A and B are shown apart, each in its own frame.
Chain A
Amino acid sequence: MDSAVFRNLVRHEFRNKGSWRKQSRIRVSRGWWLAYFLIILTAVVGTMTYFAINNELQINSIWYVTMGFPYMVFFWGFGTVKREWENDTYGWWLTMPFPRAELITAKWLGVWLKLLLGIVFAFVLLSAYVFVLSLALPAYSLTDVGSFMIAGIDWLTLVAGFSPLIISLGMMMSIIQNTSLRPISPVLWVVFMSGLSLLFQLPDSVISESMLQEGMGEYQAEWFPYSWELPIVMGVSWILTYAALRFQGYLLEKKLEI
């Protein structure tokens, strides 16, 4: 396959959104969604600002809002495959004249790029918020902002680095439900869901648990607060990702049950 086609595939997946099923639900108008979103946003920002004004906000812990990422990313992966079935577009998708491993890789890359974009967005937005805080409140200095950003980069690197595997496992889950391996899917749900919580229990030697709590007062966040094992673990996760994608290509090629 030439790279132009692959690029187009990734772009198609990157932009792909929306579902017929969601559409047939009771329609809540766009205005209402926006209203709900703004209410929640105001509540969150308000709470944070309240604590900040009372000098009780450890700003680095703001990054905790992104803690749920493994689950979120898993379901992104799951959803990107499931959507083809929900939308009844799987027939088009799977009869494209390209190897199915390629189709699945493009899907995976599309989701990952979307995630990276989200990460950059979150980083810029939160940094800007903390910067404003530091200007408004005497308790926070520009050094704190710097420390906040470093802690953020440390943390988001983890998110970006481990999400490839998690996305691919989410996709695998959805694919297995459409193949002859379907009977094992309940077992896999248990394995994957409990497996994700293990991520939070990586040994302290790899990821220091207090990483996000540091950075107040004399504790400044440092670049790369991880031990040397982390890159290895991450590297292994990428190899696993590759294996998972190849396996999904195989499943789609040989074990599909429609």
Chain B
Amino acid sequence: MTSTIVECHQLTKNYGKKKALNELEVAIPAGRITGILGPNGCGKSTFFRTLTGLVRPDAGRIEVLGKPPGWQNNRDIAYLPDRARWYPSHTARMALEWGNSFLPGFSMERAIQLCDYMDIDLDMRVRGMSRGQEARIMLILCLARDVQLIVLDEPFTGIDVISREAIVASLIDYLEDSEQSVLISTHDIQEVEGLFDYTVMMKEGRAIWSGSTEDLRAEYGSLRDVFRKMYMKEWNK
């Protein structure tokens, strides 16, 4: 097996009485597209926030790119936050300029290409955009970077089908010629299950299954079926 890009031991984070992360044990291999799957509230977002140093764990150890999380490490991580929005007064171009000034490894040229590909008008204000257009801009801010790790927290939530397809397509395009590792969390695997070559299933702050997606298929069938079975309880609530 190749080296790991993220490693957690006994990672714990509580919000009041709720255990968002409950002694999470996970090792994610480098150079793969990893899907972090689970229903809402299973701890995916908290996990990603500890990855980028937004949240400090109460206990346990986490290493990202071989280092503890923090702002220094974020130079090498492109992160799409959960339920994030963009500054409403910005135009698309201003958003790209923001990326160009502050995000290491950002390529303006590539970002403009992506905008063209994803059908984003550079002079349009974010205020006047649909949620899907806004989501595409935010994704571009992540994909236009040449960094070791890309972390996308629920990139498909609340987005129209066309934007969703554009996002999946540009992810595939992008991944083809890069050595980067990508983590994508989602609670809705329709249309994206073919993307993941490594899968972590989370439930109640723990990883209940992790491994190569092909192994998972050989053993249990399609991700969708597995998903449905594993989270039946939550779905029936």
Instruction: Please determine if A and B sit in direct contact within the complex, based on CB atoms under 8 angstroms apart.
Output: yes
In contact, B71 and A91 (Cβ under 8 angstroms): no
Within 8 A of A (CB), among B47-80: 49, 52-56, 71-72, 74-75, 77, 79
**Which residue in B52, B71, B101, B127 is a CB contact (below 8 Å) of A5?**
B101
Binds A, one of B81-89, B114-122, B172-180, B217-225: B81-89
Bound form: Cα–Cα A9–B101 in Å: 8
* B104 beta carbon closer than 8 Å to chain A: yes
Please tell me which one of the listed residues A8, A87, A256 contacts residue B88 in the complex, with CB atoms under 8 A apart.
Answer: A87
Looking at A5, A18, A90, A95, the one whose CB has the most chain B CB atoms below 10 A away is: A95
B-side contacts of A91, CB under 8 Å = 54, 79, 81-82, 84
Tally of contact residues, B, Cβ under 8 A: 28
Q: Name the distance in Å between A79's Cβ and chain B's nearest Cβ.
A: 14
> Is B235 positioned at the interface, with any CB of A under 8 Å from its CB?
no
B75 x A97 contact (CB < 8 A): yes
B104 adjacent to A258 (CB under 8 Å) = no
Report the separation of the CA atoms of residues A257 and B79 in the bound assembly, to the nearest whole angstrom. 18
Tell me whether B98 is interfacial, beta carbon within 8 Å: yes
Cβ of A33 under 8 Å from chain B: no
Q: Are A95 and B53 in contact (CB under 8 A)?
A: yes
24 A-B pairs with C-beta separation under 8 A: A5-B102, A8-B102, A16-B87, A17-B89, A18-B88, A20-B85, A23-B88, A87-B87, A89-B85, A89-B87, A91-B79, A91-B81, A92-B84, A95-B53, A95-B79, A95-B81, A96-B71, A97-B75, A97-B103, A98-B71, A98-B102, A99-B71, A254-B56, A258-B55
Chain A residues positioned under 8 Å from B49 (CB to CB): 258
What 12 additional pairs, Cβ within 8 angstroms, besides A19-B88, A20-B85, A97-B71? A17-B89, A89-B86, A91-B82, A92-B84, A95-B74, A95-B77, A95-B81, A96-B74, A96-B103, A100-B71, A256-B55, A258-B55
Q: How far is the CA of A257 from the CA of B102 in the complex (A)?
A: 24
Which residues of chain B have C-beta atoms less than 8 A from A100's C-beta?
A: 71
How far apart sit A12 and B104, CA to CA, in the bound complex (Å)?
Answer: 17
Instruction: Name the distance in Å between B143's Cβ and chain A's nearest Cβ.
Output: 15
Docked Cα-Cα span, A19 to B84, in Å, equals 13
List residues of chain B with CB within 8 A of the CB of A20.
85, 88
Does A150 touch B at the CB level, under 8 Å?
Answer: no
Q: Does A94 contact B (CB under 8 A)?
A: yes
Closest approach, in angstroms, between the C-beta of A184 and any C-beta of chain B? 17
CB-based nearest A residue for B101: A8
Interface code A70-112, partner B: CB below 8 Å = 1, 0 otherwise?
0000000000000000011111101111111000000000000
Q: Which residues from chain A contact B52 at a C-beta distance below 8 Å?
A: 95
Closest to A254 in B: B56
Inter-chain CA distance A90–B71, complex, in Å, is: 14
Shortest CB distance A13–B (Å): 11
Partner pick for A94 among B54, B56, B85, B127, CB 8 A cutoff: B54
Give every chain B residue within 8 A of A257 (Cβ-Cβ): 15, 55
Please determine whether A88 and B83 come into contact, CB atoms closer than 8 angstroms. Answer: yes
B72 near A97 (CB under 8 angstroms)? yes
- Flag if B56 contacts A97 (CB, 8 Å): no
Selected contact of B98 from candidates A12, A90, A256, A258, CB within 8 Å: A12
**Closest 4 pairs between A and B when the two form their complex, measured CB to CB:** A91-B81, A18-B89, A88-B85, A97-B75
A7 (CB) vs chain B CBs: closest residue: B101
Write out the residue numbers on chain A whose beta carbons fall within 8 Å of the beta carbon of B53: 95
| Nearest CB in chain B to that of A96: its residue | B102
Query: Which residues from chain A contact B102 at a C-beta distance below 8 Å?
Result: 5, 8-9, 96-98
CA distance A95 to B82 in the complex (A): 12
Question: Could you say which residues of chain A place their CB within 8 Å of the CB of B55?
Answer: 256-258
Say how far B104's CB is from chain A's closest CB, in angstroms.
6
Chain A proximity of B145: nearest CB distance (Å): 11
| Contact indicator B85/A95 (Cβ below 8 Å) | no
Which residues from chain B contact A89 at a C-beta distance below 8 Å? 84-87
Chain A residues in 8 Å Cβ range of B79: 91, 95
Q: Which residue of A lies closest to B102 (CB)?
A: A96
A16 to B103 Cα, complex, angstroms: 18
**Chain B residues with CB below 8 A from A94, complex form:** 54
Question: Closest approach, in angstroms, between the C-beta of A204 and any C-beta of chain B?
Answer: 45
Among residues 95 to 123 in chain B, which have CB atoms less than 8 Å away from a CB atom of chain A?
A: 98, 101-104
Residues in B with CB closer than 8 Å to A9 are 102
